[in-house]
Amino acid sequence: MRLTRLLHLARNRRRVRRFHDRLVEPDTVEAVLEAARYAPSAREAQPWRFVVVQEALARHRIAMAAFNHPHVRTAPVVIVCCARIHSHVSGTGRRSFTGDLAAAIQTMVLTAADLGLHSSWIYGFREPDVRQVVGVPDDVPVVALFCLGFQDGLAELAERRPRGEVIAWDRWSADAKIAP
């Protein structure tokens, strides 16, 4: 298998439990956001809207809405990832914005790693509380929180399932041993 720079970044990304109390340069935050703008989306609808939160009190209030999760609580930059709900609707009847936002966020993850930063993103938070902190209108979903900064301490690589459990060629493999 050919190891590309992108595969290297994806393989060596680490889970962040805590961020170091160190400023992230504005140009670096801009580069991460610029990469997200170019992420793929259904019909190139680009339904994302990002609210960058660096002010300490606002970050604290967002952390409280995220059940005081350590990586949200310690992140010097929290990006509130929102979506327009009038995004593309697929043939299955599903709106595309959750997948579109996931693509944009993953693009931010890899860009951050390329710039020497660490990141994490979560879906677990009280949406009305986050909405109030950053002034997101009621008709705009808050999809995720993206935390950006420098890792505090060491982190281990997350274990990956064996290839045979996650990849099948041409047909579904009923023999795959998928652990719960």
Per-residue pLDDT reduced to its tens digit, 55-82: 999 999 999 999 999 989 999 999 999 9
Q: Which residues pair with 89 in a beta bridge?
A: 95
What pLDDT shows up at residue 1?
67
Q: How far is CA 47 from the centre of its chain?
A: 15
**Model pLDDT for residues 7-18, shown as the tens digit of each residue:** 877 777 777 878
Compute the distance between CA of residue 139 and CA of residue 79 in angstroms, rounded to an integer. Answer: 19
Which pTM value belongs to this model? 0.86
Please give the pLDDT value at position 170. 86
Is 39 within 8 Å of 83 (Cβ atoms)? no
pLDDT-derived band of residue 180, with 50, 70 and 90 as boundaries? Answer: very low
Taking residues 93-110, report their average pLDDT: 88
- Domains along the sequence of the chain with CATH: 5-166 (3.40.109.10)
Task: Indicate if the pLDDT at residue 141 is higher than 80.
Answer: yes
User: Sheet containing 77-83: which strands, arranged edge to edge?
Assistant: 48-53, 77-83, 142-149, 118-122
Nearest alpha-carbon partner for 74 in 157, 135, 148:
148
Question: Is there a contact between 48 and 82 (Cβ–Cβ < 8 Å)?
Answer: yes
